[in-house]
Amino acid sequence: MSTFTSYLLLFFGGIIFVYMLLVIFSYSTMFLYALLQLRKEYKLDKHESDEELSDITYVKPVSIIVPAYNEEAGILDSVHSLLSLSYPQMEVIVVNDGSSDKTQDKMIAHFQMEPIQKVIRQQLDTKPVTAVYRSTIHPNLLFITKQNGGKADALNAGINLSKYPYFCSVDGDSILESTSLLKVMKPIITSNEEVIASGGSIRIANGTDIQMGSVMSVSLSEKSLVIMQVIEYLRAFLVGRVALSKHNMVLIISGAFSVFSKKWVIEAGGYLKSTVGEDMELVVRLHRMIKEQKSSNRIEFVPDPVCWTEAPENIKGLRRQRARWHRGLLESLWKHRKMTLNPKYGAVGMISFPYFWLIECLGPLIELGGYIYIVYAFFTGGIYFEFAIVLVLLFILYGSVFSMISVLFEAWSLKTYPKITDLIRLFMYSFTEVFWYRPLTIFWRCEGILQFFLKRDEWGHMERRGLSRKGLEE
């Protein structure tokens, strides 16, 4: 091997080594912040009952908007869970975005819906709405049919029809627990409307017993791919977003379950239809508005509210999802790139943007290079072999140990999974993450980067099986 090649290998190995140290330092800091925040949260709230939450004097009315495209497998369960929420004043708006399956037929028949004449205030531009229905058995349930325009367009159509000052976006394949909306609205209510957006935790429903839109018992799926996604969600929601939310730096609140001030969203122009990451892009745009208007408003993440959603159970579906998510991340960061390291945008510009650019966005490329370097070094031997061992240990710390700690956080704070056997399985699977699951997701995220540069805008389709074990049609 030539001297030049040796120096080149050491140079790239050094870059990967320094990068991994930076990532581990960042994650360690976030773990510490999350630990302190969760300890404070549950020390303060451990005696608060659901009844006390529902007795908040100034509860704000909320419009729940459910964009639905070919969601026949789970839409009835999702709507039933929303109608069962413990919330004093709300309406549920299901937006059928040109579905080609039986979503419309099932909704109209099951909820006994009739067409109504409804004047829609066109505050946001959308594809034409073809009909509006109201349920005869649930007067607060509306159903819109419209031409297909994508999820962002469907959400904008729901905002146009909504009558309340706050709206909650919920995916058509998701189930909310009865007090979830109360808890996610709490920061808005207690802050005297200073909080303009709030997001809740997402949990994976595969394997959980759900009947008639209600969670009967919680258990893990038997499928390894689903278990790894459970661990991934725990780390993302319970650690990353809790830590960033503490200082108003969170850039992502999941579109599957989030509440927004309608006034702010309309002023911002609604959901952007030219990106596949419309939920993140809207949050970033709101942060930008807050700073440009020199406002004290905030965006918060609430760790406790649980929204159960269906996760991909096969490689094909998960690959499409992760590539799409990463493409959406890149689109949001690039559109608002002027915020990066810009003191005008405070901690969001100086900390959040560099973190998302360096660790979340470009991380897959560097990690993929790390895996390639390790494989090459094992075959080369010598000093490269010893250096590769160090990198492997760093990868295990980052990819597996942090996930194992996240599982312990879950067991200590939220206790979503009550069975000790489920927690043991989560803990054991966490250790294997770096050896098979993380390399897969890194490769798929790199595909998302490629799709961004090729400007591919396809959404991709995930096969829905539905969340209930007992069908509502039976």
* pLDDT tens, residue by residue, 251-302: 999 888 999 999 999 999 999 999 999 999 999 999 999 999 999 999 999 8
- Whether residue 56 has pLDDT greater than 70: no
pLDDT-derived band at 381 (thresholds 50, 70, 90) equals confident
pLDDT tens-digit map of 73-131: 889 999 999 999 999 899 999 999 999 999 999 999 999 999 999 889 899 999 999 99
Give the whole-angstrom CA distance, residue 77 versus residue 71. 11
With respect to residue 378, please indicate whether it lies within any of the assigned structural domains: no
With respect to residue 396, please indicate whether it lies within any of the assigned structural domains: no
Give the whole-angstrom CA distance, residue 103 versus residue 466. 12
* The pLDDT of residue 226: 96
CATH number of the domain within which 271 lies: 3.90.550.10
- Whether residue 466 has pLDDT greater than 80: no
Give the whole-angstrom CA distance, residue 90 versus residue 214. 19
Q: Three-class SS of residue 292?
A: helix
- Whether residue 228 has pLDDT greater than 70: yes
More confident of the two residues 210 and 152? 152
* The pLDDT of residue 49: 54
H-run or E-run covering 176: strand 174-176
With respect to residue 353, please indicate whether it lies within any of the assigned structural domains: no
- Whether residue 470 has pLDDT greater than 70: no
pLDDT-derived band at 54 (thresholds 50, 70, 90) equals low
Q: Quick one: which of 363, 387, 233, 381 has its CA closest to 309?
A: 233
- Whether residue 32 has pLDDT greater than 50: yes
* The pLDDT of residue 34: 83
CA distances from 259 to 12, 186, 220, 274, 415 (A): 44, 11, 28, 22, 24
pLDDT tens-digit map of 303-346: 876 799 989 999 999 999 999 999 999 999 999 999 999 999 99
With respect to residue 53, please indicate whether it lies within any of the assigned structural domains: yes
Mean pLDDT of 165-185: 92
Domain residue limits at 306:
28-329+462-470
255 close to 173: Cβ distance less than 8 angstroms: no
CA distances from 298 to 196, 301, 314, 345 (A): 6, 10, 38, 13
Enter the pTM of the model: 0.92
Q: Quick one: which of 445, 370, 413 has its CA closest to 40?
A: 413
Give the whole-angstrom CA distance, residue 100 versus residue 248. 41
With respect to residue 399, please indicate whether it lies within any of the assigned structural domains: no
Can you tell me which residue has the tokens 């729901």? 158
Q: Which amino acid is at 241?
A: R
Q: For the chain, how many structural domains are there in total?
A: 1
323 close to 456: Cβ distance less than 8 angstroms: no
Q: Quick one: which of 300, 261, 271 has its CA closest to 165?
A: 261
With respect to residue 343, please indicate whether it lies within any of the assigned structural domains: no
- Tell me the percentage of the chain whose pLDDT exceeds 90: 64
With respect to residue 182, please indicate whether it lies within any of the assigned structural domains: yes
Average pLDDT, the chain: 89
For residue 442, give both structure tokens: 């890194």
Give the whole-angstrom CA distance, residue 414 versus residue 409. 8
- Whether residue 471 has pLDDT greater than 50: no
Q: Quick one: which of 258, 256, 264 has its CA closest to 245?
A: 258
pLDDT tens-digit map of 414-459: 678 878 899 999 999 999 999 999 999 999 999 999 999 998 766 5
Mean pLDDT of 170-178: 89
For residue 32, give both structure tokens: 């510490």
Can you tell me which residue has the tokens 């897969």? 440
With respect to residue 3, please indicate whether it lies within any of the assigned structural domains: no
- Whether residue 29 has pLDDT greater than 50: yes
Q: HSE on the CB side for 20, CA within 13 Å?
A: 22
Which residues, 6 or more positions from 388, have their beta carbon under 8 angstroms from its beta carbon? 373, 374, 377, 378
Q: What is the DSSP letter of 279?
A: H
